[in-house]
Structure 1
Amino acid sequence: MSRMTRVLAGGLAAAAVAGVCTAVAGGGSPAAADRASEPVVIGHRGASGLRPEHTLAAYRMAISQGADYIEPDIVATKDRRLVARHDNWLADSTDVEQHPEFADRRKTKTVDGVTRTDWFTEDFTLAELRTLRTEERIPATRPDNVVFNGLEPIPTLEEVLELARQHGVGVYPETKHPTYFDELGLSMEEPLVATLRRYGFDGPGDGVYIQSFETANLRDLARMTKVPLVQLINGSGAPYDFVESGDGRTYADLVKPEGLKWIASYAAGIGPATNLLIPVDSTGRLGRPTTLVRDAHRRGLTVHTWTIRNENEFLPADHRQGNATAPGYRSATGDVGGWVTRLYRLGVDGVFCDDPSACVGARTAAYG
Structure 2
Amino acid sequence: MIRSISTTALALALACLLSALHTAIAQDAMAPQLGPRPFYLVDTMKDGPLKTALKQCTGPFRKTDFSIAHRGAPLQFPEHTRESYEAAARMGAGVIECDVTFTKDRQLVCRHAQCDLHTTTNILAKPELAAKCSEPFTPANGATGRKASAKCCTSDITLAEFRTLRGKMDAANVNAITVADYMKATPSWRTDLYAANGTLMTHKESIALIKSLGAKFTPELKAPEVPMPFGGDYTQEQYAQQMIDDYKQAGIDPNQVFAQSFNYADILYWLKAEPAFGAQAVFLDGRYEQPGFDHTRPEALKPSMKEIAGDGIKILAPPIFMLLALNERNEIVPSSYAKAAKDAGLDLIAWSLERDGPLDKGGGFYHRSIKAAIDRDGDTLTVLDVLAKQVGIRGMFSDWPATTTFYASCMGMK
User: So what's the TM-score if we normalise by structure 2?
Assistant: 0.66
Is residue 2:170 matched to residue 1:126? no
- Counterparts of 1:63 and 1:254, CA distance in 2: 38
- 1:81 is matched with 107
Number of equivalent positions: 301
- 1:169 is matched with 215
Q: Judging changes above 3 Å, is the alpha-carbon distance between structure 1 residues 343 and 142 closer, same or farther for their aligned structure 2 residues?
A: farther
Q: Judging changes above 3 Å, is the alpha-carbon distance between structure 1 residues 354 and 261 closer, same or farther for their aligned structure 2 residues?
A: same
- Counterparts of 1:255 and 1:193, CA distance in 2: 32
Letter in 2 for 1:68: G
- Counterparts of 2:297 and 2:245, CA distance in 1: 29
- 1:13 is matched with none
Letter in 2 for 1:148: Y
Segments of 5+ residues of structure 2 without an aligned counterpart are 1-26, 28-63, 137-148, 172-184
Is residue 2:181 matched to residue 1:154? no
- 1:231 is matched with 283
Letter in 1 for 2:398: C
- 1:182 is matched with 228
Letter in 2 for 1:278: L
- 1:221 is matched with 270
1:58-77 map, 5 Å? 58-77=84-103
Which range moves more in the overlay, 251-260 or 224-233?
Answer: 251-260
Letter in 2 for 1:84: C
- Counterparts of 1:312 and 1:235, CA distance in 2: 26
Aligned-pair CA distance for 1:251: 7.7
Which range moves more in the overlay, 268-277 or 285-294?
Answer: 285-294
**Is contact 2:333–2:386 with CA below 8 Å preserved after alignment?**
no
Q: Judging changes above 3 Å, is the alpha-carbon distance between structure 1 residues 360 and 103 closer, same or farther for their aligned structure 2 residues?
A: closer
Q: Judging changes above 3 Å, is the alpha-carbon distance between structure 1 residues 161 and 307 closer, same or farther for their aligned structure 2 residues?
A: same
1:97 pairs, out of 97, 104, 124, with: 124
Q: Judging changes above 3 Å, is the alpha-carbon distance between structure 1 residues 297 and 179 closer, same or farther for their aligned structure 2 residues?
A: farther
- Counterparts of 2:323 and 2:217, CA distance in 1: 24
User: So what's the TM-score if we normalise by structure 1?
Assistant: 0.73
**Is contact 1:268–1:301 with CA below 8 Å preserved after alignment?**
yes
Aligned-pair CA distance for 1:145: 3.0
**Is contact 1:135–1:148 with CA below 8 Å preserved after alignment?**
no
Q: For residues 57-96 of structure 1, give each alpha carbon's deviation from its aligned partner in whole angstroms, at most 9, with x where no partner exists.
A: 1111111111110011111011111111111121000001
**Is contact 1:74–1:174 with CA below 8 Å preserved after alignment?**
yes
1:339 pairs, out of 365, 372, 383, with: 383
- Counterparts of 1:275 and 1:141, CA distance in 2: 23
Aligned-pair CA distance for 1:297: 2.9
- Counterparts of 1:251 and 1:78, CA distance in 2: 38
Q: Judging changes above 3 Å, is the alpha-carbon distance between structure 1 residues 253 and 341 closer, same or farther for their aligned structure 2 residues?
A: closer
Letter in 2 for 1:300: G
Q: Judging changes above 3 Å, is the alpha-carbon distance between structure 1 residues 198 and 45 closer, same or farther for their aligned structure 2 residues?
A: same
Q: Judging changes above 3 Å, is the alpha-carbon distance between structure 1 residues 144 and 353 closer, same or farther for their aligned structure 2 residues?
A: closer
Segments of 5+ residues of structure 1 without an aligned counterpart are 3-37, 110-115, 239-247, 322-332
1:1-368 map, 5 Å? 40-89=66-115, 90-108=117-135, 117-138=150-171, 139-141=185-187, 144-178=190-224, 180=226, 182-184=228-230, 185=234, 187=236, 188-203=239-254, 206-225=255-274, 226-227=276-277, 228-234=280-286, 236-238=288-290, 252=295, 255-256=298-299, 259-264=304-309, 265-279=311-325, 288-309=333-354, 311-313=357-359, 314=363, 316=367, 317=371, 318-321=373-376, 333-346=377-390, 347-367=392-412
- Counterparts of 1:186 and 1:59, CA distance in 2: 29
Which range moves more in the overlay, 67-76 or 228-237?
Answer: 228-237
Aligned-pair CA distance for 1:301: 1.7
**Is contact 2:118–2:150 with CA below 8 Å preserved after alignment?**
no
- Counterparts of 1:291 and 1:151, CA distance in 2: 44
Aligned-pair CA distance for 1:144: 4.7
C-alpha RMSD of the superposition? 2.9
- Counterparts of 2:384 and 2:332, CA distance in 1: 15
SS in structure 1 of the partner of residue 288 of structure 2: coil
- Counterparts of 2:287 and 2:272, CA distance in 1: 28
Letter in 2 for 1:157: H
- Counterparts of 1:161 and 1:62, CA distance in 2: 15
- 2:179 is matched with none
- Counterparts of 1:49 and 1:356, CA distance in 2: 10
Letter in 2 for 1:208: V
Q: Judging changes above 3 Å, is the alpha-carbon distance between structure 1 residues 255 and 165 closer, same or farther for their aligned structure 2 residues?
A: farther
- Counterparts of 1:287 and 1:118, CA distance in 2: 39
Q: Judging changes above 3 Å, is the alpha-carbon distance between structure 1 residues 249 and 267 closer, same or farther for their aligned structure 2 residues?
A: farther
Aligned-pair CA distance for 1:339: 2.2
Q: For residues 209-268 of structure 1, give each alpha carbon's deviation from its aligned partner in whole angstroms, at most 9, with x where no partner exists.
A: 011111112211221212121111137223xxxxxxxxx995849954761122221422
- Counterparts of 1:266 and 1:349, CA distance in 2: 18
**Is contact 1:319–1:339 with CA below 8 Å preserved after alignment?**
no
SS in structure 2 of the partner of residue 105 of structure 1: coil
